[in-house]
Amino acid sequence: MFEPTYTERPSTQPSFTEPPQAPLTPDHAPWMDLSAHISSLSTHMEELAIVSDSRFYSMENCMDQYQFEHLQQRIERIEDCLESQHEKIMVYLRSVFPFPSS
């Protein structure tokens, strides 16, 4: 694509220059251009869908990893708490029911 260009005249009035246009060929049907644009658009939409899909799965994987790590931390805390409670109960039981002396 061409950008319009502006040139400055001595009168400091900008003048507008049209960008060159592609010549129209009489044997070239306008619908052929439209068909090519539609095909190109379809390809771009497919690429966008693939990128969006991969981003979705990437985000889903991150969430799964976060949930797994969070769950793992919770399980470790519960195990630590159970171990601590078990030790306290065993101390109590030994104090209430001492081992018989031989």
Q: What digits encode the pLDDT tens for the residues 31-89? A: 667 778 888 888 888 888 888 888 888 888 889 999 999 999 999 999 999 999 999 99
Q: How many domains does the chain have?
A: 1
Could you write out the DSSP letters of every residue in 3-64?
--EEEE-TTS-EEEEPPPPPPPPTTS-HHHHHHHHHHHHHHHHHHHHHHHHHHHHHHHHHHH
pTM of the full structure = 0.42
Instruction: Please check whether residue 73 lies inside any domain of the structure.
Output: yes
- 16-24: average pLDDT: 57
Is the pLDDT at 13 greater than 60, yes or no? no
- 12-29: average pLDDT: 57
Question: Domain range holding 45?
Answer: 30-96
In this structure, what token pair is assigned to residue 88? 């306290």
Is the pLDDT at 14 greater than 80, yes or no? no
